[in-house]
Structure formats: C-alpha cells, structure tokens
Amino acid sequence: VPGEFNRYGATFMSATILAFSGSSRTASLNAKLLQHAVAGARQAGASVTVVRLADYELPIYDGDLEEQHGLPPGARAFQDAVAQHDALLIASPEHNGGYTALLKNALDWLSRLLPDGRSGISLVAGKAAAVVSASPGNLGGVRSQTALRIVLEKLGMIVIPQSIALGQAQLQFDEAQGGLKPSLVGAAQGVGAALVNVATRLTV
C-alpha cells in the first residue's frame, strides 16, 4: 500500500507507469483497451502517465542521421519520459503478425546513447513491463505480443505474465456505455494492477 511502511522500515512509494499504444490511430482499439489497464493500475495506487508515441516526432531510425545530428529531440523526449517512470504499460496492435513499426522505431531510438554516455537500454533494464493487445481478428493481436516480449526482454525488462489479447475488438466496446463490455473490464484492469504489484516490489 503506497505510503505504508514495509518490514525494512522503508515506505512503499507508489509506482510510476508510462503507458502508450503502438497505434497512431485516433480511434485505436488498442488505445481504448489501454485505458482500462491504466484504470486498473491507478486503482492499485500507481501514478500513470499516458502518452501518444506519434506525438514524439520520431523519424525512422537512421544511423547516418544519428551520427551527423545526434538523437532527434523527439527521441530525447521519449527517453526522458521513460527515465521518469518505473514501468511500461504497452498496448500493441498487430501488423502482419508482428508489432507496429511506430513502436519498434520508438524502442530503437530509446535504446541509443544517453547524453551521459550510458546506453539508453539502462533506462528500461530491470524495470517491469506489461503488454496487452486488441485486434478485429480472432487472435486479438497475440502474435504482436510474442514478438514484443522478445524485444522488451532483450532490453532487460521484466515482462509480467498477465495480459489480455482482445479478439474481435471492434465488437467489444459498447460506445453507449462508454467503454469495454463489463465482462472484460476486470481482465483488462487486472493487467494494470498486476504491473503495479511487480513494479512496486522492484522499486522497494
């Protein structure tokens, strides 16, 4: 419980979570699903920042551009955002069986050198991550999750097992009721809560 003392006498800090989706679409199904996982994380005591990757103005990674100009401001801003949070909550759309180029590009820039000479990987190594996905297809984008997990783990992240792959996702949101069908809300919120649990333990 945030603010309480643990058995070592230290106070539990509420975990901070950076949440984003791999979609730039205004009507993104993944962004909608993400909101429910975010709500679960907040209910579990976390402070959650939701950002849009498309707002960072990240050119496609280019080694020549990096060598001549350094990291673009958008890449530095994304690194800073990640540095300021304990964990990542990612909603991952599936594009041709993988995750999106927008997301991979952001992770590639994230991994590049920091101004102090450390690797950008140091910003995420040892931190927790959770991945959810939504797709109009029956598999709910689960293949994108598998591919993304491999990359996040390569970056040193601890990807929690809890997840949701929301199939036929366009049918699962009841706009009149303002969100996900009630039968699925608990599952989506549970992922956010599970991430807070692990992130809090890692930050004690």
Cβ atoms 18, 202 nearer than 8 A: no
Residue among 2, 74, 136, 156 that touches ligand FMN (CB under 6 A):
136
> Does 201 engage in binding with ligand FMN (CB under 6 A)?
no
Quote the tokens at residue 188.
Answer: 């989506």
Closer to ligand FMN by Cβ: residue 30 or 197: 30
Distance CA(93)–CA(85), nearest Å, equals: 23
Residue among 15, 18, 20, 28 that touches ligand FMN (CB under 6 A):
28
Shortest separation between residue 56's beta carbon and ligand FMN, angstroms: 17
Sequence-distant (≥ 6) Cβ neighbours of residue 202 within 8 angstroms: 86, 87, 126, 127, 128, 158
Distance CA(67)–CA(171), nearest Å, equals: 46
Biggest CA pair distance of the chain? 52
> Does 86 engage in binding with ligand FMN (CB under 6 A)?
no
Shortest separation between residue 101's beta carbon and ligand FMN, angstroms: 9
> Does 29 engage in binding with ligand FMN (CB under 6 A)?
yes
Residue among 17, 56, 87, 94 that touches ligand FMN (CB under 6 A):
94
Shortest separation between residue 143's beta carbon and ligand FMN, angstroms: 7
> Does 36 engage in binding with ligand FMN (CB under 6 A)?
no
Question: To 10 degrees, what angle do helices 142-154 and 101-110 make?
Answer: 10
Residue among 2, 137, 156, 190 that touches ligand FMN (CB under 6 A):
137
Strand blocks (E) in 35-141: 47-50, 87-91, 94-95, 98-99, 128-134
> Does 104 engage in binding with ligand FMN (CB under 6 A)?
no
> Does 145 engage in binding with ligand FMN (CB under 6 A)?
no
3-state secondary structure labels for all residues of 169-190: HHHCEEHHHCEECHHHHHHHHH
The site that binds ligand FMN (CB under 6 A) totals a number of residues, namely 15
Interface residues with ligand FMN (CB under 6 A)?
23, 25, 28-30, 93-97, 135-137, 139, 141
